[in-house]
Structure 1
Amino acid sequence: MTRSFQSHLNDEIATVAMGNQLAAIIEQGAVIYLHGDLGAGKTTFTRGVVQGFGHTGKVKSPTYTLVEPYELERANVYHFDLYRLGDPEELEYMGIRDYFSADAICVVEWPEKGGEFIPVPDLDITLSYVGDERKIVINSASERGVAIVEKLNS
């Protein structure tokens, strides 16, 4: 049973706020896939999620390091950017499976590049342009994801 949530995001502030809102309702770990063209707001949205879990510093895209860890009081958040990944097998060498514990929040940009080395998501999120605004569509892909999207819709 899939659930969906969608909204228009007027600007960067609204995109960060949407990430904050999502972080506020995630009670345990989650795997979140982010889809969208370059510049669609994936890292901006992730900044909102990471800040929503209590991070106060900068949030940068881990384009070259592949993962940026945020070990926070409420949860460990791992931000992956697989855009420059040459071969999904590289993920096995970096020990990617160690990041995906039951209580970690894993946000994965460009998940299609990870192949079978990354788990199925709880939330599958697409950011796209609609004129000068962005549109976000959040689809559940697991029971945990259904519970999260139902909270967003209430």
Structure 2
Amino acid sequence: MDFIAHNPEETQQFAHKLAQHLQAGDVILLQGDLGAGKTTFTKGLALGLGIKRNIKSPTFTLIREYTEGRLPLYHMDVYRLEGTGTADLGLDEYFDGDGVCVVEWPQYAGDDLPDQYLKISFVKDPDADDQRVLKLQAHGLHYTQLIKQLDE
């Protein structure tokens, strides 16, 4: 499924809508260049989960935890772990936990990612500065059903 966001507000609105369908243990992988809208998306997701705190990129902290919403949100940025892996972070405890995990730069997590997840790739439109195409790919039956719910 592809979704075209014409501006950051539409990216957040789409993420807010997705949040309504999420449940504990869901894992969302966000892939895209710097400035593609990954953190903007996560802000909308947080709002959809009822989290009111300001969402910041976890680039230097690796993981930010937001626990005051309908479900906890674990926002991860593993960009800085390129070449070192994530084995010492205990990511499986988050992935098997009580919240929703959002992982930016998942390609640097290696084999530490779960087998089932929703991957969202952010593609910038070279002709429209704020426009993004969000390409959703389901890995597992649960996420296939999740995409179907969003498409309705």
TM-score by length of 1: 0.90
Secondary structure at the residue paired with 2:79? Answer: coil
Q: Which amino acid aligns with 2:115?
A: V
Q: Take 2:8 and 2:2, find their aligned partners in 1: how far apart are those partners?
A: 16
Secondary structure at the residue paired with 1:126? Answer: strand
> 1:152 and 2:131 equivalent?
no
Q: Which amino acid aligns with 2:142?
A: R
**Partner deviation per Cα, 1:37-56 (whole Å, 9 max, x = no partner):** 11100110011111111111
Q: 1:143: how far off?
A: 1.1
Q: Which amino acid aligns with 1:124?
A: K
Name the count of aligned residue pairs. Answer: 149
Secondary structure at the residue paired with 1:37? Answer: coil
Q: From 91, 105, 109, give the equivalent of 1:96.
A: 91
Q: From 129, 134, 141, give the equivalent of 1:136.
A: 134
Structure 1: give runs of 5+ residues left out of the alignment: none
In structure 2, what is the equivalent of residue 126 of structure 1? 121
Q: From 22, 25, 43, give the equivalent of 2:21.
A: 25
Identity score, percent: 34
Q: Which amino acid aligns with 2:74?
A: Y
Secondary structure at the residue paired with 1:134? Answer: strand
Q: Is the 8 A contact 1:79 1:106 kept in 2?
A: yes
In structure 2, what is the equivalent of residue 9 of structure 1? 5
| CA RMSD of superposed structures (Å) | 1.5
Q: Which amino acid aligns with 2:77?
A: D
Q: Which amino acid aligns with 1:7?
A: F
| Distance change >3 Å, CA 121–CA 39, structure 1 → 2 | farther
> 1:78 and 2:67 equivalent?
no
In structure 2, what is the equivalent of residue 44 of structure 1? 40
Q: Is the 8 A contact 1:34 1:110 kept in 2?
A: yes
Q: Is the 8 A contact 2:28 2:118 kept in 1?
A: yes
Q: 1:136: how far off?
A: 0.6
Q: Is the 8 A contact 1:31 1:120 kept in 2?
A: no
| Distance change >3 Å, CA 19–CA 93, structure 1 → 2 | same
TM-score by length of 2: 0.91
| Distance change >3 Å, CA 135–CA 92, structure 1 → 2 | same
Q: 1:121: how far off?
A: 4.0
Q: Is the 8 A contact 1:122 1:143 kept in 2?
A: no
Secondary structure at the residue paired with 2:19? Answer: helix
